[in-house]
Amino acid sequence: MKALVISAIVATTVMGASLIDEAKSAGLKPIPSSAKALEKLTSNLKNPTTAAKVELGKMLYFEPRLSKSGLISCNTCHNLATGGTDGMASAIGHKWTSNPHGLSSPTVYNAVFYSQQFWDGRSPHLEDQAQGPIQAGPEMAAPKAFVEGVVNSIPEYVTLFKKAYGKDVKIDFAKVADTIAVFERTLVTPSRYDDFLNGKKNALSKEEQKGLKTFITKGCTTCHNDIALGGTMQAFGVAAPYKHMNVGDFKGDANGMVRVPTLRNVTQSAPYFHNGQIATLNEAIKEMGRIQLGVDLNDQETAEIHTFLKSLEGKKPSIIYPMLPASTATTPKVDVHNN
């Protein structure tokens, strides 16, 4: 009996080792286990990460006064307590406006690993992306001058910017967005899957390893690869049309390409697809198989992939809700009647 147990352990270890190689050959990469390697990967050399910037960026991320209504913050749509999303099929913004293109809010967790930002990939990095929603009419609807007026009118923010960037810092709209992006670059969620690819062969159960094997052999890694298991621009509806493509007017970028969503923490980011029309992960898996791979995944294959995807639930950074400084007499006022 003891020999059988030892043999089973050895077999699992060998299978794990070969599967790690297979996964890496398929283009899958782990979040580095080394803090130094991770910082090198996530930091922007033109906007280096520091503790002072991260703390200030967190405050601005939760700051509703950066919106025209004084009610909406980055966290409204990218809620860090609910998987980095709002759980809505279509994002809701200023004056309870639904996204005009029927687009959902993608998770902000692990967005630092994307090659491009937004569903149509129009933004090259988080610093640029952070400027968009603040100004967008259906989102936070705040002009650049309004945002600058809010931040510069509050002495505590001015002091914190000087601490983060130096006493001669110019606190303009771009600097506000840059600082939010520094905080977002820290929202990384390593999981047992990363432990597995980093060499800990027993980090995934036999069932999860089987699911990973199915994930690879069925071709899911064609689009869901690299560290983010997504985040690049890919053709959409390769084998068949998405069954809810008529909901909203989004058709991708000029070439019909769509930014692939990350699969990290995917169990927490329902509803699925760009227009949030699929409620369950099993249905999403089957629909992806049909429209992208041209295969009808059976219930067992779907369950195996689902089991693997659960292993992508990562450890989120501890976020303490910041206490924001008080407005002053010069802080731009919200006009509740015209807002």
Compute CA distances 257 → 45, 71, 100, 184, 235, whole Å: 29, 34, 19, 25, 5
Could you give all domains of the chain from N- to C-terminal order, each with its CATH number?
22-36+189-310 (1.10.760.10), 38-184 (1.10.760.10)
Give catalytic status of residue 127 as yes or no. Answer: no
Tens digit of each residue's pLDDT (9 = 90 or more) over 48-107 = 999 999 999 999 999 999 999 999 999 999 999 999 999 999 999 999 999 999 999 999
CA 312-217-111 angle, to 5 degrees, is: 35
- Mean pLDDT across the stretch 263-286? 97
- 8: pLDDT strictly greater than 60: no
Please give the pLDDT value at position 339.
64
Kindly report the backbone phi and psi dihedral angles of residue 199, in degrees, each rounded to the nearest multiple of 5, phi listed first. Answer: 115, -5
Q: Which of 4-8, 204-208, 259-263 has the lowest mean pLDDT?
A: 4-8
Of the candidates 97, 132, 142, 91, which has an alpha carbon nearest to the alpha carbon of residue 334? 142
Residue in 63, 139, 148, 301 annotated catalytic: 139
Q: What residue has token string 């450890």?
A: 315
Mean pLDDT of the region 199-226: 98
Model confidence over 92-103: pLDDT tens digits? 999 999 999 999
Q: Report the alpha-carbon distance of residue 274 to residue 278 in Å, rounded.
A: 10
Burial string for 280-293 (b: 16+ CB within 10 Å, else e) reads ebeebbbbbbbbbb
Q: Which pLDDT tens digit goes with each residue over 125-160? A: 999 999 999 999 999 999 999 999 999 999 999 999
Q: Is the pLDDT of residue 228 over 60?
A: yes
All residues at 6 or more sequence positions from 100 whose CB lies less than 8 Å from its CB, including other chains: 138
Residue 105: partners with Cβ closer than 8 Å, 6 or more residues away: 77, 78, 85, 86, 88, 91
What's residue 338's pLDDT? 64
Report d(CA 30, CA 192) in Å as an integer: 10
Structure tokens that stand for 259 in this block: 């930014």
Higher pLDDT, 134 or 15: 134
The overall average pLDDT reported for the chain is: 94
Question: Strand (E) positions, 70-203?
Answer: 92-93, 97-98
